Structure 1
Amino acid sequence: MILRLLSRFIDYPSEQLHEHKADFLALVANEERLPEDIKTQLSDFIEARLSMDLLDWQAEYDGLFERGRSLSLLFFEHVHGESRDRGQAMIDLIAQYKLAGLNIDVRELPDYVPLYLEFVATQPVDAQAGWLQDVAHIMALLTARLQKRENNYQAVFATVLALSGIEVELTEIHQQIADEKRDDTKEAIDKVWEEEAVTFGGDAVNGGCPTTQNRPSADQNRSSELPISFVDATANSNSHNQVRGNL
């Protein structure tokens, strides 16, 4: 259940979240896999976010995850960028979803972090850490970048990292990203538009211009019913090794 909670808070904010505040806080308090400091951070995040006006929360979410690529919620983008390898990696991941009994709509991007967490939540508890370890380096990077911006969303990604069971030295990551320039400023976004207009790269459908890549479509939004169906299938305990090389 904790992974589904994290999935919903990483997804686009919805009114439904406000209806279950007490349940969320109880779930965090009773999660034995989390250290107390992580529980405190996550509980504080939930309290703060569910005390916000929804439109203000959504506006901040847009600014964080829809501008620039450094906080992209599509994790293969952090690994493969716009290379062709990303397409094959997504095909492989979809195959692993199917092996585990999860069918997703063809319009959904399998590397969307909330969807991946929903998938991991369907796996046996003793297998969940392995799947989370496959993306731990990306979760650590997102955690560090959010900490650098002093944004409390870092608590959610730090929780995913804690559930993976991997000890990551965030100080080293902070050193690596210390000189990173923000890619969500007006100047940075304008530069991307100019460069892609010249190269005709990026999104071919939109003439090479960047688009809002991270906001989930109506199909992806966890606040509505996803076109996902679970079948009675037993996941192969070694199946995630097939996609590990892509992560």
Structure 2
Amino acid sequence: MNRSDLFQLTSLLLTYPDEELLAAGDELRAAAAGVDELERFVQWLLTGTRTEVQRHYVQTFDLRRRSGLYLTYYLHGDTRKRGMALLMLKQRYRAHGLHLADGELPDLLPIVLEFAATVGPGAGEAPLRQHRQGIELLRAALHDARTPYALILDVICAVLPQLTGEDLAALTALASDGPPVETVGLDAVGLGPDLSPYPACGNAEVSR
């Protein structure tokens, strides 16, 4: 599977499992063929009932702050820096002809993956590299939650650049302290996921 197809498929699999997605079982199985983690995830996705997998998605991504799909939150929390990061992402997309639907935030991981698939290496994958730490924190949180969605993040991390020692130090601090807090009225963030059981992966071969 080439990088563009991988990012396109993982983008799709990280969207809400609506009726249209679940009805495309044969196409999803064919697209995931050859990548063990994605084959296993698709099998899980298509085995449960629609109600079960939709409830699981909401509980995983919408009700748990530590495993949200909005990448700028991991680095900036709800601060003014996050607003600037969102604006820069939106401008990057616009420069390459990608326009978001009303209400869509540009840091939503499926959108970031779609951009990488559409534009390709270099400029297209730059937001993924920029938010590598947030993606790794999300991956660890999904493993903590023992959700099959962790399989998708394993595949994404496997093709991203290897984490540096500086990245690992920053990850440890973010996992311990949580994202920055500036805006009043927020819930307590608490400690991030324990990263120690999940060695960072990078530059692994994806094609099977």
If the length of structure 1 is used for normalisation, what is the TM-score? 0.61
Please report how far the alpha carbon of residue 29 of structure 1 lies from its aligned counterpart in structure 2 after TM superposition: 2.7
Matched, 1:94 2:90: yes
Q: Does 1:3 align with 2:7?
A: yes
Residue 123 of structure 1 corresponds to which residue in structure 2? 119
- C-alpha separation between the residues in 2 aligned to 1:27 and 1:125? 20
The Cα shift of 1:119 comes to: 1.4
Distance 2:164 2:137 in 1: 10
**Contact 2:89/2:106, CA 8 A, preserved across alignment:** yes
Query: How far apart in 1 are the matches of 2:114 and 2:94?
Result: 14
Corresponding residue number in structure 2 for 1:15: 19
**Mean Cα deviation higher: 123-132 or 95-104:** 123-132
* Count of paired positions: 173
State the secondary structure of the residue aligned to 1:18.
helix
Equivalent position of 1:27 in the other structure? 31
**2:64 aligned to 53, 68, 71, which one?**
68
Pairwise CA distance, 1:44: 0.6
Post-superposition offset of 1:144 = 1.3
Q: Which amino acid aligns with 1:23?
A: E
* Residue 112 (structure 2) pairs with residue 151 (structure 1): no
Deviation at 1:137, TM superposition (A): 1.8
Tell me the TM-score normalized by structure 2: 0.72
**Corresponding residue for residue 201 of structure 1:** 185
Structure 1 unaligned regions, length at least 5? 31-38, 181-198, 203-207, 209-247
How far is 1:126 from its partner?
6.1
Deviation at 1:62, TM superposition (A): 1.3
User: Where in structure 2 are the equivalents of 1:97-246 lying within 5 Å?
Assistant: 97-125=93-121, 128-166=124-162, 176=172, 201-202=185-186
CA change 1:88–1:126 in 2 (3 A) is closer
* TM-superposition CA deviations, 1:157-211 (whole Å, max 9, x none): 1111123243689xx79x959x97xxxxxxxxxxxxxxxxxx9624xxxxx9xxx
CA RMSD of aligned residues (A): 2.8
Output the CA distance in 2 between the equivalents of 1:161 and 1:113. Answer: 13
Answer with 1 or 2: which has the greater Rg: 1
Instruction: Write the letter of the residue equivalent to 1:20.
Output: A
> Percent same amino acid among aligned pairs?
27
